[in-house]
């Protein structure tokens, strides 16, 4: 299993541009989440999904959009990038088997918005 | 809403000395508690977790943590720190019913020779 994969690893955007961060998992996990990590702030939840077709907002959802059409994929869309969205983005998945909260994290995407 | 507090932003420990990183949480029910470690430029690695049962849990790399309900704490310990333990450590608590985590702001561990 590849686990949780994220693409791209690095991305530079100009203010106002849009883009999609890709996340995929091959473990058949029902739960998937997106977090952002900023210095001194820990990780904060952006959006999450408890199954295909079901998504909800986390702590910092503004400026981001998600959808979950398949169990495997959970893309994160930046609608109009802003410098405040410069961050490292982590996708995670989890499942009921070992306790639903144990997150399997992807390697992250480092995004810079200029 | 639940919260996680890691009171120490930075900690410096001499190599070979013992380590304790503090974590306090605010959550009404029995929490699901985690410690993750992140080396510079890397992703997050799970060190250990507590769901129920024995309040002293063992993890990887010689780490352990003790759940103390009366103090709402889940402190991470290691008897002898190695230079390779220098990293940032995050405590996290599971959020009821939604399979997501609330993280503390992290503690950066520096190891001096």
Handedness of CA A6, A63, A66, B33 (dihedral sign): positive
pLDDT of residue A49: 94
| Separation CA A52–CA B88 (nearest Å) | 33
Say if B101 is an interface residue toward chain A (CB within 8 Å). yes
Q: What percent of chain A has pLDDT over 70?
A: 96
Question: Residues B45-70: what's their mean pLDDT?
Answer: 92
A101–chain B nearest CA distance, Å: 5
Q: What is the mean pLDDT of residues A33-59?
A: 94
Whether residue B41 is predicted with pLDDT greater than 70 in this model: the reply is yes
Q: Is the pLDDT of residue B97 over 80?
A: no
End-to-end Cα, chain A, rounded Å = 36
E strands, chain A, are: 4-7, 10-13, 19-25, 31-38, 42-51, 54-57, 64-66, 76-78, 87-94, 104-105, 109-113
> Mutating which of A33, A35, A42 best tests the B interface, going by the most B Cβ atoms within 10 A?
A42
Q: Chain B partners of A101 at a C-beta cutoff of 8 Å? A: 32, 34, 94-95, 99-101
Q: What is the pLDDT of residue B65?
A: 98
pLDDT confidence bin for A81, thresholds 50/70/90: very high
Q: What is the CA radius of gyration of chain A?
A: 13
pLDDT at position B70 over 70: yes
Q: How far apart are CA B74 and CA B27, in angstroms?
A: 12
Question: Which of A48, A103, A106 comes nearest B98 by C-beta?
Answer: A48
Q: What local confidence, expressed as pLDDT, does residue A35 receive?
A: 97
């Amino acid at each position: 299993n590849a686990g949780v994969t994220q693409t791209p690893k690095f991305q530079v955007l100009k203010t106002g541009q849009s883009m999609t961060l890709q996340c995929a998992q091959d473990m058949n996990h029902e739960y998937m989440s997106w977090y952002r990590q900023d210095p001194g702030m820990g990780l904060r939840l952006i959006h999450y999904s408890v199954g295909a077709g079901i998504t909800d907002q986390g702590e910092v959802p503004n400026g981001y959009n998600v959808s979950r059409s398949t169990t495997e994929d959970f893309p994160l869309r930046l609608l109009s990038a802003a410098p405040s969205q410069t961050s490292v983005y982590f996708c995670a998945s989890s499942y009921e088997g070992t306790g639903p909260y144990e997150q399997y994290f992807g390697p992250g995407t480092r995004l810079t918005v200029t | 809403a639940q919260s996680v507090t890691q009171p120490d932003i930075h900690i410096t420990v001499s190599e070979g000395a013992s380590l304790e990183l503090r974590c306090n949480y605010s959550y009404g029910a029995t929490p699901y508690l985690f410690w993750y470690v992140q080396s510079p430029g890397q992703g997050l690695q799970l060190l250990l977790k507590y769901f129920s049962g024995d309040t002293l849990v063992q993890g990887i790399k010689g780490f352990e943590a003790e759940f103390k309900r009366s103090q709402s704490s889940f402190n991470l310990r290691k008897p002898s720190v190695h230079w390779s333990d220098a990293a940032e450590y995050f405590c996290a608590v599971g959020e009821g019913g939604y399979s997501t985590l609330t993280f503390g702001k992290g503690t950066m561990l520096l190891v001096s020779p």
